[in-house]
């Protein structure tokens, strides 16, 4: 099944700085695969807006998220409320010669639509995909999901049918009359990395952190 490219609908077409729009699915996948946290919007029946930070994983042409069955907001998403999921990666600060032209290097993706509930028989597999995304190498060491844990968890899927991607990676774009200003301009990169593992205080065995933790990169 083919899926529309980012920015191909009136709601997702980038109008502000359209040169930053990415219109291929490879760029969409790359942004989603690089992030760990998404923000999901929902408006409740009484008209109040909320934004939820959630862990997620891309599964082909859909995004999987999970939350508590006791969450009113997640139940609203499960019922098909319209939503917008966003992922933003911050790569640097653009230091221009004026505050107006200063900005950021970023990669961002937006997904519009409505979630569907992952069926019970597929829930464990979907949760394993999210685990693999957040904790690569860990799943094989973990015990199976307990029935009560599965019963307490909602797993939702949002298809990547209506999307938008923006990427900003340019140097400062100062006005010509600011170029003679004798101040520095450029880009300050922002990098993320995983730190040294810290053992849990209740660890009952003399066990070193597993080797796969050393392979995690951002």
pTM above 0.85, yes or no: yes
The number of C-alpha atoms within 13 Å of 146 and in the hemisphere containing its C-beta is 3
> Pairing state of beta strands 116-117 and 153-159?
antiparallel
In a domain, 8, yes or no: no
Least confident of 50-59, 105-114, 182-191, 209-218: 209-218
Q: What dihedral do alpha carbons 70, 71, 75, 81 form, nearest 10°?
A: 180
- What is the DSSP track for 125-156? HHHHHHHHHHSTT-GGGSPPPPHHHHHTEEEE
Q: Which two tokens stand for residue 16?
A: 């502000």
Rounded to whole angstroms, the Cα distance separating 41 from 89 reads: 18
State which residues form the domain around 33.
18-175+183-188
In a domain, 193, yes or no: no
Residues of the chain with pLDDT > 70, as a percent, come to 99
Q: Which two tokens stand for residue 4?
A: 């529309």
Residues 82, 44: contact at Cβ < 8 Å? no
CATH code of 72's domain: 2.30.110.10
In a domain, 7, yes or no: no
In a domain, 198, yes or no: no
User: Residue 39 contacts by C-beta under 8 Å, 6 or more apart in sequence?
Assistant: 51, 52, 53, 54, 85, 86, 87
In a domain, 201, yes or no: no
In a domain, 135, yes or no: yes
Helix (H, G, I), strand (E, B) or coil at 207: coil
The number of C-alpha atoms within 13 Å of 32 and in the hemisphere containing its C-beta is 28
* Banded model confidence at residue 1, pLDDT cuts 50, 70, 90: low
- Count how many domains the chain has: 1
In a domain, 128, yes or no: yes
Which of 75, 70, 74, 77 has the alpha carbon at shortest distance from 152?
70
* DSSP secondary structure letter of residue 177: G
pLDDT digits (tens, 9 = 90+) for 61-99: 999 999 999 999 999 999 999 999 999 999 999 999 999
In a domain, 11, yes or no: no
Residues 74, 156: contact at Cβ < 8 Å? yes
pLDDT digits (tens, 9 = 90+) for 145-167: 999 999 999 999 999 999 999 99
């Amino acid at each position: 099944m083919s899926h529309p490219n980012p920015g191909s609908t009136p709601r997702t077409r980038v109008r502000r700085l359209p040169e930053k729009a990415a219109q291929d699915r490879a760029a969409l996948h790359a942004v989603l695969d690089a992030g760990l946290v998404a923000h999901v919007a929902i408006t409740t029946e009484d008209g109040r807006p909320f934004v939820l930070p959630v862990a997620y994983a891309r599964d082909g042409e859909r995004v999987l998220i999970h939350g508590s069955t006791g969450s009113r907001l997640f139940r609203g998403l499960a019922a098909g409320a319209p939503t917008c999921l966003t992922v933003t990666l911050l790569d640097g600060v653009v230091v221009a010669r004026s505050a107006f032209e200063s900005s950021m290097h970023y990669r961002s993706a937006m997904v519009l639509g409505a979630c569907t509930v992952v069926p019970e028989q597929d829930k464990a597999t979907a949760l394993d995909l999210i685990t693999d995304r957040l904790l690569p190498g860990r799943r094989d060491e973990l015990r199976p999901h307990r029935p009560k844990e599965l019963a307490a968890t909602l797993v939702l899927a949002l298809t990547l049918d209506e999307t938008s991607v923006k990427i900003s990676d340019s140097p400062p774009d100062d006005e010509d009359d600011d170029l003679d200003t004798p101040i520095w301009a450029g880009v300050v990169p922002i990098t993320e990395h995983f730190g040294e593992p810290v053992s849990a205080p209740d660890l009952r065995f003399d066990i070193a952190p597993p080797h796969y933790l050393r392979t995690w990169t951002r």
